[in-house]
Structure 1
Amino acid sequence: MADAWIPLALTLKVAGWATLLNLIFGVALGYLLARTRFPGRDLLDAILTLPMVMPPTVLGYYLLVLLGRNGAFGAWLQSTFGINLIFTWQGAVLAAAIVAFPLTFKSARAAFEVVEPQYEQAARVLRIGEMAIFFRVTLPLAWRGILAGLLLAFARAAGEFGATLMVAGSIPGKTQTLSIAVYEAVQAGQDDLANFLVLVTSLTCIVVLLVAGRLVPGRVPGQS
């Protein structure tokens, strides 16, 4: 069972980095769509939510086409920086981040939309800059919903299988996450190992969901 902790460490690493990416881009785009109106806003929202309903294997195929050596972005990364994301843990991070992105994005947008505008307007009357308003007024009022979304995204990234397998493969110690390790153990007939990995995965997700559940029901300051 000692080798079982290697996929767990890799899973936490991949899910952690994926959640960090979602924190940056999910919160930024959630705030953008919550506070601004522009042509194509609903279409952009649908595109950003698409990974939630798209089969992970289809998403993984798109990433292979885009990031592969012959792909537009992959060829540019290889020729410019010598970077290859296919069959690497960084590729697994990108796949997990995209699959889990809608959970952060939708939670952040909803959290920003329930923040009463008069609090921000009062700060503007006091001649506080927009950046300061975001970090000192808007974000503190929306943090509970954002954190709940991030926890759910972390759990989703930790359990990602289809897109990660297609983009990063199943290289033990390098790209084999918990969900992939479970699949490989079942295929190899290692039931004891599979049961242990399933137990570890289930406990991790239950803890995350319990924490997220405690955050969601709480009333956000300033929410009517």
Structure 2
Amino acid sequence: MTDVSYRWGRAGFGLAVPQLQVAAGETVLLLGRSGSGKSTLLSLICGTVMPDQGRIDVGGADLCTLSAARRDRHRAEYIGLIFQQFNLLPYASVTDNILLPLRFAPKRRGRVSGPLHEAARLCAALGIDEALLAARAGSLSVGQQQRVAAARALIGFPQLIIADEPTSALDAASQETFLSLLFDQARTHNSAVMMVSHDARLAPMFDRVLQMDDIAQTLPPPPQKMRSATKPEHNA
């Protein structure tokens, strides 16, 4: 990100990011208070919202120059997303949920020689029992759903994994296990990981820790124009 600024509406919250870079294979933890703009920053990186100005390069393309449809395709190809609420299809099977990104990303699908085999391999690496592959995602525990969401993000070897508070529902031991598995899979394919959290205790597990206040400036609402208190006079 270079010289990026964004504002929700003409008079709303604003965010300015002079410079942000994440290297291939790097794991980055982004910390910040509630309301500091962490989710907005992730939305900008993913191209789901567009800045008012600046440049956002992901996978060799400036998102700001792409149409909405091309941004959607580019995101599917180059970014794996782990949402805070996982966003699994509850009535679809574990396998179908994991394979879903490949339906929208031909290049990503082309990097997987056998999608079913790769889904099973990721599940095994992330500690998902083989017997659960045909189970409905909505029937799984929170920890199991989280691992399925990670497998979905990792399949097809995207260059960047974005994770928004993915461990908030887990205890400390489960958090460490989950992140170790996630990092191991990301390192295997040189994927970068950028994760947002409120939990500074996770910092030692990451290559780099960023504070939201150090990389971005919150922009105050623009000043409102004052209206005249007197009514204009009218000639009789």
Question: When the two structures are superposed, what TM-score results if normalisation uses the length of structure 2?
Answer: 0.26
Larger Rg: 1 or 2?
Answer: 2
Structure whose residues are more often helix by fraction = 1
Structure whose residues are more often strand by fraction = 2
